[in-house]
Amino acid sequence: MDKYLCIVSIDKGMVEDTAEEKFFRESYAQELQRKEHERELEEERKKVKQQAMKTPGRRGEQIKHEEIDREIIRRYRLRTK
C-alpha cells in the first residue's frame, strides 16, 4: 500500500487523494522533515490550526494536520530505536 494513499470519510462517501493532493502531501512532508526542532513543528501546527479556523473544511489544512502528525510519529520512532 502506498504510504501517501489516504482515504478519508466525507459525509457518506470515501474519497482518495487526487494527483494534486498527493503531490501537495509529498512536498509538505518533505518540508516538515527539513524542520530541525520539535518547536518548529509545534509552531507549524499552530499556524495550520489558526488557518483552519479562518477557513474551515479546506482539504489543504486537513492534509497538513495529517502530515504533521506523521512527522511527529516518525521522529518519535527514530528516537526510540
- What is the DSSP code string of 6-59? -EEEETTEEEEPPHHHHHHHHHHHHHHHH--SHHHHHHHHHHHHHHHHHSTT-H
- Position 81 scores a pLDDT of 79
Using one digit for the tens of pLDDT, what is the confidence trace for 44-69? 999 999 999 998 888 899 999 999 99
Per the model's pLDDT, the better-predicted residue between 2 and 74 turns out to be 74
Using one digit for the tens of pLDDT, what is the confidence trace for 17-28? 899 999 999 999
Report the alpha-carbon distance of residue 55 to residue 34 in Å, rounded.
26
Is the Cβ–Cβ distance between 29 and 67 less than 8 Å?
yes
Where does the pLDDT of residue 12 fall: very low under 50, low under 70, confident under 90, or very high at 90 and above?
very low
- Which pTM was predicted? 0.73
- Percent of residues, the chain, with pLDDT higher than 70: 81
